Chain A
Amino acid sequence: MKKQLLGLAALLAASVFSASVAGAQEREVHVYNWSDYIDETILTDFTKETGIKVVYDVFDSNEVVETKLLAGGSGYDVVVPTGPFLARQIQAGVFQKLDKSKLPNLVNMWPQVSDRLAKYDPGNQYAVNYMWGTTGIGINVDKVKKALGDNVPLDSWDVLFKPENAKKLKSCGINILDASDETFAIAMNYIGKNPDSKDTKDLEAGGKVYQAIRPYAKTFNSSAYINDLANGDICITIGWSGDIVQAKTRAEKANNGVNIDFIIPKEGTYMWFDNLAIPADAKNVAEAHEFINYLMKPEVIAKASNYVQYANGNLASQKFVDKEVLGNPNIYPPEDVVKRLFTISPYGPKEQRVLNRVWTQIKTGK
């Protein structure tokens, strides 16, 4: 045991030493991004081109990122928060304004996306879009049709939110995305309320949609559902566009006869944006700008989109994006579908408490 400790101490000392040596010579950028969210060759290419070493770290929930940023001294130079989180973090003073003179590739950005992003970041001063997508329904087409009949319309939230449908889908497995801010907006929109409402009554009414189908839901998660859907363990889920497309790809590769589709329901759904921003206490500000500027190169961000199967906010990149990705209406939805998508503003502390209180009640089935 003692020997082990000594070994550990030596290792630790060595790594501290090498880090301090590296600091003297090498330029670094510390990036904190969502898991499975980049083609890693982009990082090695960036290092080759600029000599800047990328220290890449991943997370799987906005909440974890936010807590690290609010505690201060996170040590990251580039982070990737989603819209409403970005807005609140800007308000808390977490980020620094981007130096646009160091970001010449901004000309490539897509005004339609930047304008929507301005709802969270007025004037686009703090962040540039990385990827965007929608939250819709992922289904195992054959199993859902078997449970509900061939003629069931699949283009509506009814397929999941009507208790009589959910009851029939119970045996083949329902997952509900564990992201309360989005799921409530979707439910409020479904019952004809304003999806951006922060009124307690509206939030509780949105909660009732889930309470009604709670007895039939199998799981509440926002990462394991990709595999569950691909393996046929669940047949329907609320999910993020790229995740469902990934599940479809995995099922096709496994050749297991699972036929998956992603649906943007006709009632409309939530449109989200993941964005690159620089914390106020970042140590490598110049390198962070270089990294963000590199990701705005059309051919680079197109490579990322081709890999992760999400749309990006870079208009010039579209001629480099694969036809299967650009032509997929679930990834790059057509104009009339985009009109039905909505965004939401951040929740205040009291509203967030009501929201998560109702959500916990739903999840625990109390």
Chain B
Amino acid sequence: MAASSDTAPKTNAKTTGDDGGHSAGLSRWLVVAIPYLWLAIFFVAPFLIIFKISLSDTAIAIPPYTPVFEGFGAIGDFVSQLDFENYVFLTDDPLYIEAYISSLKIALVSTVLLLIVGYPMALAMARASSTIRPTLVMLVILPFWTSFLIRVYAWIGILKPDGLLTLLLHAIGLMGPDDQVQIFRTDTAVYIGMVYSYLPFMVLPLYSALEKMDHSLIEAANDLGCPPWKAFWKITFPLSLPGVIAGSMICFIPITGEFVIPDLLGGADTLMIGKTLWTEFFGNRDWPLASAVAVVLLVLLVVPIMVFQNQQKKVA
């Protein structure tokens, strides 16, 4: 697998290498080959393995599916045992469709919330004086110094009925001493966890887009009598659009497949494809169906990725 995809850049490099001297050819070859090799080893090969498992049947064995690839001698027999039965099953059962739709909905709402919270932050950072900007960027990155899992666990301590939030509301008298916050194990808790965890991924692309903006455009608009709010919508927002799209994609895609946050903060009725995948893989030991769920998820996410790529090309 890896061999076939890295021969392509190799032949390419040879023709270009002839015009441009030996060392230039080699370095160019390396520059082209390394990303391809990376993609082949860490994306294409695992994907093909998952795709193959999704065409198999479950078995009580190690590994728990059949057929297992046993060399090219028996390849005909091997291929004849593969089929698309698992994909048919996915469309038959409303559970999976509901889980996909629910995941996409949660991802969409989370992304919108992230934009609402992240945009003012990024704007404030971009407008701050250049001496404190590095500090502000540092503060956005700072949470990464603690494990993601521990940060999500910390939210359990805040949101649980006898947690810090309840204590705080009792202390400032906004809530009676017998009442408790009922957020933990609901969709609201999932949204809080998502927005908190993904905020840096939204703020940083927005910040980099806003920082590049020429502030004299706003000054010109103001001088010509444009009110600040209108200037924002006519100038700032359109110019930050690449950042908005980059941030939204970087958040939307992983949130759709998120498992940890809905599992730790969500209730039993929070339906997301990551949890469904876990049940198929661990609960039902159905690796083939779990793989089919994963392949469909990938296909669903390819659409927003392509939109993202398209936008990037336009900018370039």
Contacts and interface: CB of A to CB of B under 8 A. Distances in A.
Q: Are these two chains actual partners, yes or no?
A: yes
Interface of A: 61, 63-64, 66-67, 69-72, 88, 91-94, 180, 217, 219-220, 231, 233, 349, 352-353, 356-357, 360-361, 363-366
Interface size class of B (residues with CB under 8 A): 20 to 34
Contact of A72 (B62, B93, B276): B62
A180 B283 contact: yes
Contacts of B162: 231, 233
Interface string B254-295: 000000000000011111000010010111111001000000
B285 A70 contact: yes
A356 B95 CA distance: 11
A61 B282 contact: yes
B63 A66 contact: no
A67 B284 contact: no
A64 B64 contact: no
Given A349-B285, A360-B95, A70 B64 contact: yes
Contacts of B83: none
A211 to B, nearest CB: 13
A357 B95 contact: yes
Secondary structure of the B contact surface, majority rule: loop
Most buried by A among B60, B93, B282: B60
A92 B60 contact: yes
A356 B283 contact: yes
A285 to B, nearest CB: 18
A233 B284 contact: no
Contacts of B283: 63, 180, 352, 356
B161 interface: yes
Given A88-B60, A233-B161, A365-B269, A67 B282 contact: yes
B98 A366 contact: yes
What's the dominant secondary structure at chain A's contact region? Answer: helix
B63 A72 contact: yes
Given A219-B185, A363-B269, A67 B285 contact: yes
B58 interface: yes
B62 A352 contact: no
B98 A349 contact: no
A70 B63 contact: yes
B62 A219 contact: no
B1 interface: no
Nearest to A281: B62
Given A364-B268, A366-B98, A93 B62 contact: yes
B172 interface: no
B285 A352 contact: yes
Nearest to A94: B62
B61 interface: yes
Contacts of A363: 268-269
Interface in B116-165: 161-162
B93 A357 contact: yes
A77 to B, nearest CB: 17
A219 to B, nearest CB: 7
A364 B271 contact: yes
Contacts of B185: 219
Given A217-B268, A220-B268, A353-B284, 16 more contacts: A63-B285, A66-B285, A67-B282, A69-B62, A70-B64, A70-B285, A71-B63, A72-B62, A72-B63, A219-B267, A349-B286, A353-B286, A353-B289, A360-B279, A365-B268, A366-B95
